[in-house]
């Protein structure tokens, strides 16, 4: 759930396209038609600046938007701030609201929350709805002793009187989290539903998370998936990936499996890192799709280019297999396998391992002298789990994952949780599995978050931590 509520910009804050430095291109590189457009933009800016200098309010507002969004001129937040200030002095409540947003963010000038709240209050007193909403947000996030009823009245007025959909969202968050009001999940759902029906994407996302994660009926969970699908159809890679992972976690049947691959592929095509990794993992393990090691390696490599250490490790494993491990007992080729693995790691500039001395113990497995590196622990856990280059040993794999998880390795927590839940390599411990998933999801592991939400409903015992 998203707990932080951010102020809104003016209704004109939707930036369709940004052309940075549009007036700085050399005319020699432009076609005659582009030269003509450039001259027209320059003439338009000159006329607007002349009119704004004479105290013309619409011209000052137009210049502020042009310089803020970088449309028809190079983006310049300082100039935008100056022209919003000029328009505010001329009596524009819209300019006061935009100026308050810039002051709150420290754009074009120093960050000043007090001055921002003052601008929002002035505009709100004149009936500007979004300024009233932003003023309520400032009061909510401030340390002042503002009465809870005043904040509730502001958001209620935004929602019911001024018909601002974000007002319903703000009330929904307050009732969901129990901030300044008594926690009421059902009322929160109703408020988010109202905002969602009015087209608020944020409310739709919150509503879907609540419906999927609370102990809801099958119909409500399907409704939550439908909300995420709407966001994925209109949104960007993150929305597509959220819907894909929700299909994998909460959906059942081939249709949801197909939806996972469809939307995850769309997100991966846009370079979304978790989507690249998840697709690669499915193609490597043949989970729901025909195994395709070549494609998995390509996807891991794309994720590795974005500094994804987990992808580097799995890519290293796949490359180690291709180097040709002798088909002999583990103790005869373990040293050779690990030396090859280290070579691949260095060649890929992946997980940088210091010079280690290789030892062998009574189990004839590979160990490193320095076993404190969580990436090394995770790497060895993967090797013993799959039996790549060594004799398969799930108990030893579980121990390596556990050691890596103790050093906050996210993917190791995820893998350890799956083994604990299934009882692989040792005693089954569902509560410990949920704890590991919870810690991984807190640190940003999205798949662990969705799995935790689904599995936590099946265990009544309270999870530690």
- Delineate the domains of the chain, giving CATH numbers in brackets: 11-125 (1.25.40.10), 308-456 (1.25.40.10)
The least confident of 16-20, 100-104, 138-142, 330-334 is 16-20
pLDDT band of residue 144 (cuts 50, 70, 90) is low
Q: What is the pLDDT of residues 253-269, one digit of tens each?
A: 788 888 989 999 999 99
332 vs 289, more confident:
289
* CA distance linking residue 138 with residue 305, whole number of Å: 40
- Could you write out the DSSP letters of every residue in 51-89? HHHTT-HHHHHHHHHHHHHTSSS---HHHHHHHHHHHHH
Query: What one-character-per-residue DSSP string does 251-271 give?
Result: --SHHHHHHHHHHHHHHHHTT
Q: Which of the pair, 350 or 83, is modelled with greater confidence? A: 83
Q: What is the pTM of this model?
A: 0.56
- Count of CB atoms situated within 10 Å of the CB of 448: 23
Sorting pLDDT into bands at 50, 70 and 90, what band is 371?
very low
Residue 145 pLDDT level (bands cut at 50, 70, 90): low
Average of pLDDT values for 146-175?
Answer: 85
User: Which tens digits make up the pLDDT trace of 320-360?
Assistant: 655 544 443 333 334 444 444 444 444 333 333 333 333 23
The conformation of residue 142, written as its DSSP 8-state character, comes to S
CA atoms within 13 A on the CB side of 42: 12
Which pLDDT score is estimated for 322?
A: 56
Q: Which residues, at least 6 apart from 398, have a Cβ–Cβ distance to it below 8 Å?
A: 381, 416, 419, 420, 424, 425, 426
CA gap 314, 297 in Å, rounded: 9
pLDDT for 465: 38
Which of 284, 281, 247 has its CA nearest to residue 262?
Answer: 247
Q: Has residue 86 got a pLDDT over 90?
A: yes
Give 95's pLDDT tier (boundaries 50, 70, 90).
very high
401 vs 459, higher pLDDT: 401
Q: What is the largest CA-CA distance in the chain?
A: 89
pLDDT digits (tens, 9 = 90+) for 411-428: 888 889 989 988 889 988
pLDDT of the residue at 5 = 42
The separation between CA 194 and the C-alpha centre of its own chain, rounded to angstroms, equals 25
pLDDT digits (tens, 9 = 90+) for 209-259: 888 877 667 888 888 888 888 888 888 898 899 899 888 888 777 888 889
| Rounded (10°) CA dihedral 163, 164, 169, 175 | -50
Distance CA 302, CA 268 (A): 9
Contacts (Cβ under 8 Å, ≥6 apart) of 192 = 168, 169, 172, 176, 203, 204, 206, 207, 210
Looking at residue 464, the DSSP 8-state letter turns out to be P
* Interatomic CA distance for residues 408 and 404, integer angstroms: 7
- Confidence (pLDDT) at 199: 84
Q: Using CA of residue 113, residue 115, residue 121, residue 123, what is the dihedral sign?
A: negative
The rounded percent of the chain whose pLDDT value lies above 90 is: 13
How many Cα atoms sit within 13 Å of 438 on the Cβ side? 12
Q: In angstroms, rounded to a whole number, what is the distance separating the alpha carbons of residues 87 and 295?
A: 56
Task: Select the more confidently predicted residue: 200 or 7.
Answer: 200
Q: What is the mean pLDDT of residues 299-322?
A: 78
Q: What is residue 314's predicted lDDT score, i.e. its pLDDT?
A: 78
């Amino acid at each position: 759930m998203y707990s932080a509520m951010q102020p809104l910009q003016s209704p004109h804050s939707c930036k369709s396209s940004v052309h940075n430095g549009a007036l700085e291109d050399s005319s020699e590189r432009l076609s005659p038609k582009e030269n003509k457009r450039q001259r027209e933009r320059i003439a338009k800016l000159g006329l607007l600046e002349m009119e704004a200098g004479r105290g013309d309010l619409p011209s000052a507002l137009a210049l502020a938007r042009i310089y803020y969004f970088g449309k028809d001129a190079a983006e310049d937040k300082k100039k935008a701030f100056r022209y919003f200030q000029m328009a505010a002095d001329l009596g524009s409540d819209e300019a006061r609201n935009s100026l308050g947003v810039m002051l709150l963010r420290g754009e074009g000038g120093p960050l000043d929350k007090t001055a921002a709240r003052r601008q929002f209050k002035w505009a709100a007193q004149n009936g500007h709805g979004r300024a009233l909403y932003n003023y309520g947000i400032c009061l909510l996030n401030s340390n002042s002793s503002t009465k809870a009823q005043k904040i509730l009245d502001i958001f209620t007025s935004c929602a019911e009187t001024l018909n601002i959909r974000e007002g319903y969202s703000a009330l929904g968050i307050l009732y969901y989290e129990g901030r300044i009001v008594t926690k009421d999940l059902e009322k929160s759902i109703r408020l988010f539903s109202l905002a969602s029906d009015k087209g608020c994407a944020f409310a739709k996302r919150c509503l879907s998370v609540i419906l999927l994660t609370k102990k809801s009926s099958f119909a409500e969970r399907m409704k939550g998936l439908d909300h995420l699908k709407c966001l994925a159809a209109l949104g960007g890679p993150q929305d597509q990936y959220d819907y894909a992972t929700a299909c994998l976690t909460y959906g059942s049947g081939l249709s949801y499996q197909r939806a996972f691959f469809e939307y995850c592929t769309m997100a991966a095509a846009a370079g979304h890192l978790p989507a690249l990794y998840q697709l690669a993992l499915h193609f490597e393990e043949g989970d729901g799709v025909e195994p395709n090691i070549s494609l998995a390696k390509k996807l891991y490599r794309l994720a590795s280019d974005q500094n994804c250490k987990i992808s580097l490790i799995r890519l290293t494993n796949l490359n180690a297999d291709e180097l040709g491990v002798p088909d002999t007992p583990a103790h005869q080729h373990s040293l050779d396998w690990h030396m090859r693995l280290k070579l691949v790691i260095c060649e890929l500039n992946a997980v940088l391992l210091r010079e280690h001395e290789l030892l062998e113990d009574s189990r004839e497995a590979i160990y490193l002298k320095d076993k404190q590196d969580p990436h090394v622990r995770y790497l060895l856990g993967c090797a013993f789990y799959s039996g790549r280059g060594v004799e398969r040993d799930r108990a030893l794999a579980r121990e390596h994952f556990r050691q890596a998880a103790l050093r906050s390795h996210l993917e190791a927590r995820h893998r350890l949780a799956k083994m604990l839940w299934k009882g692989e390599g040792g005693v089954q411990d569902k509560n410990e599995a949920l704890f590991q998933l919870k810690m991984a999801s807190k640190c940003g592991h999205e798949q662990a978050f969705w799995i935790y939400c689904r599995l936590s409903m099946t265990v009544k015992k309270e999870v530690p931590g």
